[in-house]
Structure 1
Amino acid sequence: MSDLQFKRHRRLRRTPFMRDLVRENHLRMDDFIYPLFVVEGEKTRNPVSSMPGVEQISLDYLPQEVDELLSLGIKAILLFGVPNDKDSVGTGAYHTHGIVQEATRVIKKHAPEMLVVADTCLCEYTDHGHCGVVANGDVLNDESLELLVKSAVSQAEAGADIIAPSNMMDGFVIAIRQGLDEAGYRHIPIMSYAVKYASAFYGPFRDAADSTPQFGDRKTYQMDPANRLEALREAQSDVEEGADFLIVKPGLPYMDIMRDVRNEFNLPVVAYNVSGEYSMVKAAAQNGWIDEKAIVLEMLTGFKRAGADLIITYFAKDVAKYLQG
């Protein structure tokens, strides 16, 4: 064997400290955004049956929740509202006293430093469950933009630090940017759901947000999972229209897309580790089939390796505890 010539890559893997020294990607608490579902009423903590460890909580429990998150080093939350009443045009999304607006005020009064990212969509607030205005079975694009702008401005007025439009209407970034600017919120960034696929991985989220479409599906406005180049066209449009962050959703099945977006654009890239990815890991762990901690850390590190700067994940609390030892 002495005459063989080959590279000795294992030299850099010999010990744990050696592996730490040459590790290329790291998870930090600054990387994470924790999704939070807020409901109307009082003294409410509704466990989401398909998402172990995730709850819908009422406004009076928000200070306690925020304190826990801050103690874990989680500095940003993504707010979703679950209203009592819905209508055909999603009035609760842009009402001054809508659930996300009220939740934002509670959080900002209790802990002004917590970053509030407001999900800007209509699906949780419409009685048909679609992300825009519906007429004759079609989701209307331009008419929906007007309501999304109203929602974004209302959220900014309530104190949201970042607006995160998830509706996938054409032109939603430029419409919201113009609306925010005209209302005096030029300083509020837009975290665009730039690349959002019509994915089967969203099922548990629709339980949590009560946002299942009552007819049809969302394939006319969310992207075909088979398409790659379309993702770059979508992201390019959002960059040109004024987006400040680019979300790729879902995360795990679309890490190739995440890398494409990272290579193409110089804005912060956000991976959305969605509900189906979360629930599958939790279910397998509960059955003793996997090592949950090892799987979660490997998966989230994979997002960083694929090019994500930030990660929206329901695992944020768990990861905080893992990283704190």
Structure 2
Amino acid sequence: MNLFLKRTYSTNANTIQWNKTIRNHQINKNYQQALKLFEIGIEKKTFQPNSVTYLTMLDICKEVKSLSTLRTIHQLINSSKNIHSDDKEIYNNPRIRSLLMDAYIKCHDLDSAYRVFESMKERNTIDYCGLMTGFNNQGQHEKTYELSKQIPSSIKFSSPILCTLILQACTELNQYADGYQIHQNGKHFLPDSKMLMNELLNFYLKFNREKQALDMFEQNSNQRTIIDYSLLMKYYNHQYQPQKTIDLYYQLRNNPQIRPDPIIYVLVLQAIANGCCVHTSEKIYDHIKKFGTNIDVDNALINMYGN
């Protein structure tokens, strides 16, 4: 692959045809054939890659998660800025740089992704969301938190997804004041953003702010999800308040838009075990028999009857 870097840059009429062929391989999910074709074309100087070529190849790198190929393509893109004006447009193309960063994230190379991010002349909400998602997914919440301090307010509070990602980091790092600020500036996204609502509920429960969590739960009653119920039930179980968990369970059963899942049954069985509510256990066991069990529910039943 190092032979890629020995090529000379000259316009070639074959580029359009090669792009079509590589694109057809991508559409048909013949990713390895596309990579090989690109390698041969570069090695033999058969065609001149343009922006379309690199956008296609970066998409393919994301699919196959080939870090070595991605790094080689990155080197080619970087070397293009020293050639002539047409190739400099490749290096400065914001779509290419965004996709390059995203490809590194998919390949779990966040250090390289961040270097690409830093090299961008312009950054948009999608770029910030992509990098923060990568950080949070790998447990690097402190990097999301640090990055959030650099974001202009016009971008920071422009997206419910971005607010949610920053809030996740605040929750993990025990940054209550910053998380509260996200809530205040992101209120206009509620109740339409269920993801942000879930994370806010989790945030307040993490800091034992039960009143704020319940206020959100009640105010957004038409937008509740099963995640909201499970978060509250888990909190009450940790606080050894089994009756509140059981009450939430029956409230959930009266909600025609949501059906209990195995997690809900495990949580309510844990509450029954903590409270030793024998009469309640018989009713809920009847519900479980109709629903069907799995290994987690079975273990929770064993624990409940053991208690």
Fold shared per TM-score above 0.5: no
The higher-RCO structure (CA 8 Å, 6+ apart) is 1
Query: Normalising by the residue count of structure 1, what TM-score does the alignment of the two structures yield?
Result: 0.26
- Of the two, which has the highest radius of gyration? 2
- Structure with bigger strand share is 1
- Structure with bigger helix share is 2
Query: Normalising by the residue count of structure 2, what TM-score does the alignment of the two structures yield?
Result: 0.27
